[in-house]
């Protein structure tokens, strides 16, 4: 399934802000009963060196800062997995 405009914006902004080595953007909106095509609920998996030495709350704040416009508007819910490359490879 092709990404919608909000998913593309999320991907572009996280790419620019965090230079991830791995990025998944998952539109979970259909699971939340919205109208077809609604983009309101997302999950992201972000693997970035920018997270090194930061606790989970600080990592989430970096993701939220990159998506502040989207979170103030159409993005209703965002689940975040934020890992360093070492954590990602270690499982």
Q: In what order do the strands lie in the sheet with 77-83?
A: 22-27, 41-47, 77-83
pTM: 0.91
CB burial readout 5-18, b (16+ within 10 A) else e = ebbebbbebbeebb
Distance in Å from the first CA to the final CA of the chain: 27
Given a contact cutoff of 8 angstroms between Cβ atoms, the answer to whether 18 and 80 are in contact is no
**For the chain, what percentages of helix, strand and coil (3-state, to nearest 5) are there?**
45, 20, 30
Would you say residue 7 has pLDDT above 90?
A: yes
pLDDT value for 51 = 98
The pLDDT tens digits for 21-78 are 999 999 998 787 777 778 989 999 999 999 999 999 999 999 999 999 999 988 999 9
């Amino acid at each position: 399934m092709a990404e919608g405009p909000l998913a593309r914006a999320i991907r572009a902004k996280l790419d620019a802000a965090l230079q991830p080595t791995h990025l998944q953007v998952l539109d979970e909106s259909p699971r939340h009963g919205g109208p077809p095509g609604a983009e309101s609920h997302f999950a992201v998996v972000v693997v970035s060196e920018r997270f090194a030495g930061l606790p989970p709350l600080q990592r989430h704040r970096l993701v939220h800062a990159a998506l502040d416009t989207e979170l103030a508007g159409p993005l209703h819910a965002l689940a975040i997995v934020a890992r360093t490359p070492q954590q990602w490879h270690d499982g």
